[in-house]
Amino acid sequence: MKTIYLDNAATTQIDDEVIEIMHTSMQENYGNPSSIHQFGRKAKSAVETARKNIAKHFNVTATEIIFTAGGTEADNLILHNAVLNLEVKRIITTKIEHHAVLHTCNHLKKTHHIIVDYVDVDKFGSIDIHHLETLLKTSKEKTLVSLMMINNEIGNLLDVDAISKICKNYNALFHSDTVQAIGHYPVDLQNTPIDFIVASAHKFHGPKGVGFAFFKKGFGILPMFHGGNQEKGARSSTENVHAILGMEKALEIAISNLEEDKNHIEDLKKYFISELKKISEEIQCNGLSSNLEKSSYTILNVRLPFTNDMLLFSLDLAGIAVSGGSACQSGSNKGSHVLSEFLNDKDADKTSIRFSFSKYTTKHEIDFVISCLNDNIKTQI
């Protein structure tokens, strides 16, 4: 059976060159980076070279990059440090953030009695910047603003330049979950002075279980894990050498081919939208995901004019992998917390599907998906 993977916002296929780098590392670079002998020094050198090369892509120094097990850990490390180490008493975020941020904020609210305020979003799920400014004006407490650069469900792009300026004006720290952006959009942290960002390698054709947190120079870091004092004391645990080298290679490939890949994927997204409209004009796109200027070119969130709880299962039987929301919530029978925040009850109850594309997606695959959707949708309209 033919299989088609359109769930790249959940995870991506590992690039062949990344697999080759990791395979070679597993065979030849097996020392512990904390060991003082030549095998350990070789591994340590590889990790630090990767750190320097990754830092260059964001115009920062190697000392500002902390390797983690992924985006969720990086978000947790940053938010915990903001409260426990940087004396933040208040966090401003939205109710459509990834749960790595939302659940951590709720935990910090319960355990450390911080204030958590939520910025309003409009009917398209976009941040109300005026409300953000109003919130920043209402308190003198030290504040961290945490807003994701690209929403993982609807693909909305955040104007990080504008948010950075607002945060600076009100002396607030700015953290952005950039997991869906890294490897797909250029991020220059000198031009856009975000204080903290995160990355997860498996979102840009690297391995799972590895990512990083960026802490702007000058912020001390208290570890969440204690034991070995790795990562300059910021994260105890033997470094995942092979995965770190894989992430370095995946990021290098992604950034080197960024414009070419973007053009390819953007063309497919345009084509997909046009073909969907041919099936039915009643098909809508959630958020700004159909707006090529204001949403990620990799994500399209489609709302059908009916409810069919078995549609994702039917597509899976046809060999098509998509998501009804965030795959990070696998096993949950709850609807999307993102869509329910800005859709009315009637629309929120309708079946929505997130399609997310990659450089490996082809027009032929899109045609097959459209054909399957046509067969399923026409029977219910």
Q: Which residue has the tokens 């919530």?
A: 329
- Joined tokens for residue 30: 């097996």
- Joined tokens for residue 314: 């039917």
Residues 285, 341: Cα–Cα separation, whole Å: 15
Q: Which residues are catalytic?
A: 328
Please report the pLDDT score of residue 312 as a whole number: 94
Residue 330 CA, distance from chain mean position = 16
Under DSSP, is residue 167 helix (H, G, I), strand (E, B) or coil? helix
Please report the pLDDT score of residue 328 as a whole number: 46
Please report the pLDDT score of residue 380 as a whole number: 75
Under DSSP, is residue 73 helix (H, G, I), strand (E, B) or coil? helix
| pLDDT tens digit at each of 381 positions of the chain | 789 999 999 999 999 999 999 999 999 999 999 999 999 999 999 999 999 999 999 999 999 999 999 999 999 999 999 999 999 999 999 999 999 999 999 999 999 999 999 999 999 999 999 999 999 999 889 999 999 999 999 999 999 999 999 999 999 999 999 999 999 999 999 999 999 999 999 999 999 999 999 999 989 898 888 888 899 888 989 999 999 999 999 999 999 999 999 999 999 999 999 999 999 999 999 999 999 999 999 999 999 999 998 999 999 999 999 998 544 444 445 689 999 999 999 999 999 999 999 999 999 999 999 999 999 887 776
Residues 100, 30: Cα–Cα separation, whole Å: 32
Please report the pLDDT score of residue 376 as a whole number: 85
Residues 99, 68: Cα–Cα separation, whole Å: 17
Give residues with Cβ within 8 angstroms of 202, minimum separation 6: 11, 12, 14, 70, 208, 209
The pTM assigned to this predicted structure is: 0.95
Please report the pLDDT score of residue 325 as a whole number: 57
Give whole-number Cα distances, 188 to 51, 82, 160, 161, 197, in Å: 16, 22, 11, 11, 11
Contact 128, 120 (CB under 8 A): yes
What phi and psi, each to the nearest 5 degrees, are found at residue 213?
Answer: -115, 135
Residues 66, 79: Cα–Cα separation, whole Å: 14
Structural domains in the chain plus CATH codes: 4-12+258-378 (3.90.1150.10), 16-256 (3.40.640.10)
- Joined tokens for residue 245: 């080298």
Residue 40 CA, distance from chain mean position = 32
Please report the pLDDT score of residue 333 as a whole number: 52
Give residues with Cβ within 8 angstroms of 15, minimum separation 6: 205, 206, 249, 250, 253
- Joined tokens for residue 275: 């073909």
